[in-house]
Amino acid sequence: MHQPPIPEIESADPEIADLITDEARRQFEKIRLIPSENYVSLAVLEAAGTVLTNKYSEGYPGRRYYEGQQFIDQIETIAMDRAKALFGVDHANVQPYSGSPANLAVYLAFAQPGDTIMGMSLPMGGHLTHGWPVSATGKWFRAVQYGVRRDTGRVDLDEVRDLALRERPKVIFCGGTAIPRTIDFPAFASIAAEAGAILVADIAHIAGLIAGGAHPSPAGHAPVITTTTHKTLRGPRGAMIMSTAEHASALDRAVFPGLQGGPHNHTTAAIAVALREAAQPEFRDYARQVVANGKALAGALLARGYDLVSGGTDNHLILVDLTSKGIGGKPAAKALDRAGIEVNYNTVPFDTRKPFDPSGIRIGTPAITTRGLREEHMAPIAAWIDEAIAAAIKEDEPAIERIAADVREFLAAFPMPGWSPQP
């Protein structure tokens, strides 16, 4: 059953209602290990499904281009205040539609087309919007990119410094989508200061860990911080840009009118609700447990002979290099999905295979931790992963189906917010 229930969709549009229910069941029955995903609370779900979606609010609280903002202004102001308090920053803009537009707004605020910008390359763990060639950020700017060290699998800070001093980028992005280790914000800050660049900490993946005290904060080191709200932060799909007072108006102008029109007010309310949840003591327990589960799962995979990029994890994310197992990331991810374990295939640093058929899989613990899984559940999950990969290599489909059935039975004891199999 859906909570909140969806009787109107069921009667008005049964085709879509059925597909929503299928997706809910899929989320319930699978061990969801995609590190950028989560399960939001009922309160966040409710906020995102309200009549706030009916309202246009171009502008900012107190300075709108449409009338009727008596309540929307209050909601957005509360969301901004909660973000500022939670992350210890002077300014927060909660309007970006998602993480990619948030990063585009940062470029719009600080760089001109053709300027040099710097970020981590995508195959090394960076995000598309950090200057990868197929992205607008790689087409419209002169992107220089850093990676990780071959011997350690960790960000090569010597390379970052050399590149920054030689190329003098306007902005330097730190953070990424496949970085299993703690980001050294003070080190990036001193490099950016030396190079005369603006440091942007893109904390999309780790915002919830930072809010919960399980990863160091970039506040006080990076004058600009971007984040999605829907990954470890466990809010609705959306994003925020946070900054020092100095950069506030440039960033606000870049989001609106520079890049966007009206903000998604239902999302803003859901962000506010999620930020309140993230400020509670239980969220600190959650963030700590995400990392504890990450370390336990990494340990269990290492014990089964898996190669992990950088040898393990400090956070919620594990990058597995399957080269020594003799299977590509894509067939492994597809077999795991059939076995009820959802991961994504991913390039590993210095990958010798093609990007659409890379050597790795990327796994993470935010969603399963929300379901209530703890360290003791990580060894069984590693065992299922290992068995499913072995079965994929042997093309043993019945074994994969047996694992999926075991996974379904196991997860039935861990409720998810928003849907339960009971009618």
Q: Active-site residues: which are they?
A: 56, 58, 202, 228, 231, 237
**115: Cα separation from own chain's centroid:** 27
Q: Among 175, 223, 360, 364, which residue sits at the site for ligand PLP (rule: CB under 6 A)?
A: 175
- Give the residue with the Cβ less far from ligand PLP, 69 or 310: 310
Q: Least distance from C-beta 220 to ligand PLP, angstroms?
A: 20
Q: What whole-number distance in Å separates Cα of residue 197 and Cα of residue 222?
A: 11
Give every CB contact of residue 230 below 8 A, 6+ residues apart in sequence: 36, 38, 40, 236, 237, 238
- Give the residue with the Cβ less far from ligand PLP, 270 or 388: 270
HSE value, Cβ hemisphere, 13 Å, CA-based, for 367: 22
Q: Least distance from C-beta 26 to ligand PLP, angstroms?
A: 20
Q: Among 82, 91, 181, 205, which residue sits at the site for ligand PLP (rule: CB under 6 A)?
A: 205
The site for ligand PLP, by CB under 6 A, has a size of 14
Q: Least distance from C-beta 364 to ligand PLP, angstroms?
A: 11
Q: Among 80, 192, 204, 275, which residue sits at the site for ligand PLP (rule: CB under 6 A)?
A: 204
Contact between residue 297 and residue 374 where contact means Cβ atoms under 8 Å apart: no
Tell me the two tokens of residue 209.
């860990």
Q: What whole-number distance in Å separates Cα of residue 235 and Cα of residue 199?
A: 25
Q: Least distance from C-beta 295 to ligand PLP, angstroms?
A: 21
Q: Among 127, 154, 266, 362, which residue sits at the site for ligand PLP (rule: CB under 6 A)?
A: 127
Q: Least distance from C-beta 102 to ligand PLP, angstroms?
A: 7
Q: Among 6, 28, 36, 164, which residue sits at the site for ligand PLP (rule: CB under 6 A)?
A: 36
The reply to whether 38 sits near ligand PLP by the rule CB under 6 A is: no
Contact between residue 199 and residue 225 where contact means Cβ atoms under 8 Å apart: no
Only one of the segments 60-68, 199-207, 259-267, 398-406 lies at the binding site for ligand PLP (rule: CB under 6 A); that segment is: 199-207
Segment (H or E) for 248: helix 248-253
Only one of the segments 197-205, 243-251, 390-398, 407-415 lies at the binding site for ligand PLP (rule: CB under 6 A); that segment is: 197-205
Q: Least distance from C-beta 129 to ligand PLP, angstroms?
A: 6
**Residues 75-114 vs ligand PLP: string with x where CB under 6 A?**
-----------------------xxx--x-----------
- Long-range contacts from 70-73, C-beta under 8 angstroms, 24+ separation: 72/265, 72/268
Q: Least distance from C-beta 271 to ligand PLP, angstroms?
A: 13
The reply to whether 177 sits near ligand PLP by the rule CB under 6 A is: yes
- Give the residue with the Cβ less far from ligand PLP, 21 or 98: 98
Q: Among 57, 95, 121, 129, which residue sits at the site for ligand PLP (rule: CB under 6 A)?
A: 129
Which residue is nearest to ligand PLP, using beta carbons? 99
* Alpha helices by DSSP H, 140-230: 157-167, 185-195, 207-211
Q: Among 41, 228, 265, 267, which residue sits at the site for ligand PLP (rule: CB under 6 A)?
A: 228
The reply to whether 212 sits near ligand PLP by the rule CB under 6 A is: no
Please tell me whether residue 161 adopts helix, strand or coil conformation. Answer: helix
Segment (H or E) for 313: none
Whole-number Cα distances in Å, 227 to 71, 87, 239, 259, 359: 25, 11, 5, 17, 28
Q: What whole-number distance in Å separates Cα of residue 55 and Cα of residue 68?
A: 9
**83: Cα separation from own chain's centroid:** 17
The reply to whether 344 sits near ligand PLP by the rule CB under 6 A is: no
Give every CB contact of residue 211 below 8 A, 6+ residues apart in sequence: 86, 87, 233, 278, 279, 283, 287
Contact residues: ligand PLP, CB under 6 A: 36, 98-100, 103, 127, 129, 175-177, 202, 204-205, 228
